Chain A
């Protein structure tokens, strides 16, 4: 068994090495794939705070991914068409402002959804979060002002002061930095009193209540932080594709985020990183062979669920988490 800390360091270096190699080999598409891994891993890190530490199996996290994506889409759309938004507010092409908007709006969406759904548990929680995700999906489809079913195209990637975001390696650097910050945040939260209490609430809510803490409040805060991080990933994903559409809200995406965690290891710090990397690798390589590449993913998932309950990280670093 390799200590998890060493494994995480190796994974960080690996995620850095691939795009640097691609830069050297002049393979810009590989850099874009690595960027996609970093962004989807970021969304997974968000979910991992709710699901991994808090045990909240949300099948509606695409709602936050989509809210972040549309925050970017709407702001950039108004900036590129020079049309003011409501109350005469201008759009913007500035990434920091877009990220802040994505964080706040998806965090508020998580607050509202969490306040209503966290009264339930188990399969009811899964179903009600799914229902909220689908509500957002159908709302986006029927919102003609921002493209409805067709979505919104953003012609030029948004800007970040001092960087050329059109350069794939520089945009990768942005996504990678965001991922590292989110991983750092996850690690700190997990070790904090908040993480200790949230983790205990997953295992024994009665115990947490009898020491005078509210499992509901702990979970709600975790859900908000989780939703905000997934929303930031949505904004970056929209910028990567320069396109937002209702599919960002789809339940399949919520499911894929859970699949990332299962593949990499639920509650493992780098679980979503491994999961997203394996997913994108399979999508790219098996997808070249057959459009039914997800059968391969299904087999892998089955093997992991049956034989490696701690995910791939558990397989290499041991099951203790």
Chain B
């Protein structure tokens, strides 16, 4: 194996405080890495190849093995082990035999890419190899972080000093973990659930904790981004465990002069989704980069809100008369999925009373199926029947989905009602079928593309109770643990609590950022 291995960028991870240099006892991985340069770079390169085989290729490849005694190759559902030092793939029981025969000690597990050391008889977590594995899963490539942009390089010599950051910052206390409730300031639970979903959004968190919005330099009065900055500092930098009083957000909200959200600013209970839109737009206003704005308007804005939430939809309208096609692209902050039609259809079909729908069905209805519409065709220069099809052109990093549970019944004095249809939503969501890429080409074999379109559930906003006297609670995931946030109450939650809830807003975060 490993014939053309370029030794460039093959090196061990530099030692960092609090971490051992190698993943297992000095005997094993260390010997592999410190014998000589060639052995080390061969090992690392082969590990990379193995990871590529596991994550980018058909899983059949890594899951198929031949018995040592020879015979037919067969494919396993359970994990196999790929030898790091040769090309053999074997199942657990054959490792010892293979090791005795060939003196090969390291094996890569075929589903997660982890390293098994035969001498330790244990999975080992070597810092160098583990970093490669995490990066492969996380971004799809082994490249280290991208180069700094020109704007990011400061010309302040004081800031280039390596001691600048340790000298001017202090570590957050161990206890500070971002888990705090927010007090209800009088029918403000609709704000609290959105704030919590922002607070546990890793992209927004990193932005604010990296000094993304400098409240010291911000001259805007009652800036809502400064208020968010304060909350992030309080949640992740302080030891307090009691509730937080979001007074600054509330006052910025009251003072805001956004005309579109005038109705929202009352002391009454409001729609959490509208508040989400308000907060997103307001944060966009405060963080927008005016330079970029001149040459392209909203679409090219690279503010944190656009970077996090915005994607693009493409709708294709085909005239039934002349078969002319018109494409239109628009950006979206969230996907709104109607439930009523689908629920009714389902109800008729099965006759059962409360039909249960899957999120994927709602997405399919909206972004795969076509619908008919009237449209003014330019070619025919008249109104024509047309087929319209919408699909997702660009997926956002955080996909927010609104399930339209509040529907205005037309004709009945505009009375709104709540749709209680249970919607089943997955912890992991594949958005590939709803993209225009999937529409235009066969994507069944593109595992890399599928991974880039895989989303993981991050937060759920739930509305309980009736339309006008309800209450909002939310679930957020921190690591692998779910928490429920009910105003100032924070409790542990099970996955089944989360998945069984009557979701109103769903926040999915992309699994790998490429």
Do A and B assemble together? no
Interface residues of A (CB under 8 A from B): none
By a beta-carbon cutoff of 8 Å, the part of chain B in contact with chain A is none
